[in-house]
Structure 1
């Protein structure tokens, strides 16, 4: 996994916003068997499986939330990927 720090920070911010909007999600994120590194590995592996090179923020968020929502999810092997994010400035 090669995600740049700013991409990870944006993903963490997105997840924090979700925790504020849905406090029960914060409990799921606190699961000791889950981690941000695991979430990013899962995200990259799912994007690689899809064959896509670019995904939108909604897709990223859906995959990250799915990782934390499911107890029995496989992170997948570490994927060599570069992650960047672009926030919509509208």
Structure 2
């Protein structure tokens, strides 16, 4: 997988998570004139224009949200860039069937009572 593909998946997963927590952003994320490819192009152009090589997660995620929030935003031309990502999108593992819990076996024998020192 190319690093840019992984970057795209990380951004997309973050946006989906945010939309699941924020109903207003969920509506924003569904705008017909917006898509993840243009979002990535916008982020790459914004980073390129800044002249910086490193950004925090929050800064990059903020750029992604800004792209979706603004209706008239200049995306820019696609950039051929190599993106280094320190995240991995985990696919949910298939759930294993749980073993039925066994009930404790009740003893039918009489329990031995120990004398108390405090009686």
TM-score of Structure 1 vs Structure 2, range by shorter chain: 0.7 to 0.9
Distance in 1 separating the partners of 2:41 and 2:62? 14
> CA offsets per residue over residues 9-67 of structure 1, 9 Å max, x none?
11111111110121111111111110100000000000000001121111110000000
Count of equivalent residues: 86
The root-mean-square deviation of aligned C-alpha atoms, in Å, is 1.4
Map 1:58-69 onto structure 2 (within 5 A).
58-69=58-69
1:19 aligns with 2:19: yes
Greater mean deviation of Cα atoms: 2-11 or 57-66: 2-11
Map 1:10-89 onto structure 2 (within 5 A).
10-87=10-87
Query: Which structure has greater strand proportion?
Result: 1
Q: Which runs of 5+ in 1 are unaligned?
A: none
* TM-score when normalising by structure 1: 0.87
Q: Which runs of 5+ in 2 are unaligned?
A: 88-119
Q: Which has the larger radius of gyration?
A: 2
Query: Which structure has greater helix proportion?
Result: 1
3-state SS in 2 of match to 1:54: coil
Answer yes or no: is the 8 Å Cα contact 2:41–2:79 preserved in 1.
Answer: yes
Distance in 2 separating the partners of 1:44 and 1:8? 11
* TM-score when normalising by structure 2: 0.67
Report the CA distance between 1:77 and its aligned residue.
Answer: 1.1
